[in-house]
Structure 1
Amino acid sequence: MGLPSPSFSFTIPSVYDDTQLECRLYLPPQLQRLETAPRWQKRGAIIAHPYAPLGGCFDDPVVSTVGGELLQAGYIVGTFNFRGAGESGGKTSWTAKPELGDYFSFYGFMVYYLHGLNPGRPSGHSRAPSETQPSPPSIAGEEGSQQSSSPVDLILGGYSYGSMIASHLPKVDVVMKLLANTAEGSSTAAIRTRAQHCSAHWNKEFQARVQLQSSRPGSPDSVGKPSHVALGYGSDSSPKDSRGDALDNIMRRVDRSKRRLSARLSRSEPQMVQVQDNTNAGTASGDARQIPTPRISYLLVSPILPPITLFLTMFSRMSLSTEVGSGTSVQGAHVLSPKPEEQLCAHPTLVIYGNRDSFTSEKKIQKWSDELASVPGTKFQYREIDGAGHFWHEDGVETQMRAALRVWLSHTLQVGSSQTPP
């Protein structure tokens, strides 16, 4: 079972240079029932797609397969198109630095979005007698809903080229500091606003359905299949000349102008490590809350290793640089990527690959995996699928990949709640 139709389709700007990125969100079944939604633990996963010039995009069948398993396990799944893929703007780069900025942008969106979700019951809604847990915070009818201060679980994943980008992301504490230093009118502020709009939409819809059930005791205890919501561009279900898109286009141009003006007039010092929890990117809010650092994991499917990665990045060490873009939230910060091996050993990681991969030899990837798995205190795990190639077309290999992923997810879900972010 792959991914169904998305719950949300939207665009966000890349922090690298404001290139518009086509994005999708898929909500798990656990958020479709009123009795399971309040107990749902916030967890999300990002699955990045293969190399765009070779046909990679978020509609890739392997991305759909992996995403479908994560969805059934209770994860909100997020996918996006790198620049040059699908309806995203721009072109694929030779250095992968812009693509690293693209991934970072969606990473930030998921952090904001998961934080903003509030699958609790409105105050006054009756619970079944067997439920002894304290009532979750009430759901506000507006975007400024009360939000849980507990950390979320977030899987940083990718397939093929997407796994290479995911493994080079900055450390999670660096990511949180960059997100916290959000200047008014910046790309990060626009991403935050988009995330807040999406989470507020779900909160309002959930509240309305809970209230409907309260007024009709005999109605089915189900939220029902969420309606598809399209925001901005990149959705076939949203006409390009619609009234909503026309307004979004105007606001996007205004935001871009504000970012450029902000870049020219301000080279301000970093703000405190807090995220402004306002819903208007151009209006500062006095209610600033620190978002808990998420517990991250890595999921890499058919990762590509040197010399392929060296070719794709033109022999340049990857880094996140926003100097190219105007008005970026980190004000020209240049952030070097840590060594992937350090991050993959420090955080729960699963690598799945086939021993007939045409891009990376079995001997090389097995040696690399064994070395990481033998590091003292490592959290790195791997699974080699016999007979599987890079594209997972061979008979029976997809079933084995699914099984390996389920085992890892089951273990991750069991230990995740007892861990604290580094």
Structure 2
Amino acid sequence: MVPRLQDVGWLVTSQTLDQAPAATYDLGLLRLRAQHLLHPEAIKQLISQSGTEWIALVAPDCLAVPGLDEFVSEWFFDTLPLPTDLPRLRNLLGRAFGIARLRGIDSHQGNEHELLGQSRPLRELRKQLGRLGPVDKPVLIVGESGTGKELVARTLHRMSRRVAGPFIGFNCGVFAEPETCAVLFGYQGKLESANGGTLFLEAIHELPLVLQKRLLECLRNKVLYHADGGMLPLDIRLLASTSEDLMSCEQRGTFDPGLRQWLEASRLLVTPLRKRQGDIALLATYFAELYSVEAGRRASHFSEEALAAMARHRWPGNVRELASRVRRGYALAGSGTIEPEDLGLQHSAGDGVHLSTLEDYKRRAEYQALCDALAHYSNNLSHAARALGVSRPTFYRLLHKHQLL
């Protein structure tokens, strides 16, 4: 398989499982065997520590192992059974590479794709990134799952004086306390690997309390003490993300007050996609064009019904969910128009809020009309205003009233 992939232009190297964490890849192919499923800790550690999109190549002896589907769905971008044909694999690699580019993994592509959108929350976020990026201080990135917190962290790193240094990420919720302690503070652990660069701790609210205190001590004193008495001077910028309110965690006794205050001195909020209605159509179009380039087909377009369905949907999975639904829609629609059923949104019921007063209904109807217009005319606000039968100044006033611009 490796020579065939090289023949069509991929740069491919082969590693054993224990060698893989030391290398950096945009994409990873992992041959999944039955023993991996029975003892999955090494694979979980590899995937959680890497900035790579992983694809599982499933050996026949794995198919009967209980829990295969759940394990692959949780830890891998996608999966293919072995043996597999090259065209199918190439198509999957293309899609995975597109997601890698969006997440900022592929440093050769620049950052023109980062943080797409023109909504007011996103413009404000870009301003904050411009202020905080060059400043060498810790930053707490707050947002729901799928909003792009890691992409924000990578952007901060790229804008900092540490851009030539390493960017090391770690999900604090993957391992139990002993394994987390070893991965973070041990020899060749995350703190040591991030020296001279940036350490990004995802889901920091899940870091055990005793390790929170040790982390703060290391970063404040700029020294890492190993268990055998060894000492390593540290030069690290800490970026952390959370989907929780750290003050509430502190009040429950699960988060260290000192670390919370240290982190929240600089705080970035990543707005959920449902509050960035004007960006939905733009992002969906970007994904559709991205997948079309990778597949070598002409870009598919969204029907008016599909655009309206996307505007009504609440997007609990945020941008990650949008990318997944557009990928599914593009595959199902083929060369035709993408419809709501292709996106899995034919039964979208909006936000499910039961409004009680006439004023509430009026406000909701006005908001939905603006969302539908933005979804359909995201690149031309004059056309959107004309479609709603209002002047452009009135249209802007309404957008600001509902915080859509």
Instruction: Assess same fold via TM > 0.5.
Output: no
TM-score using structure 1 length: 0.25
TM-score (norm 2): 0.26
Q: Which has the higher contact order (CA 8 A, sep 6+)?
A: 1
Q: Which structure features the higher share of helix residues?
A: 2
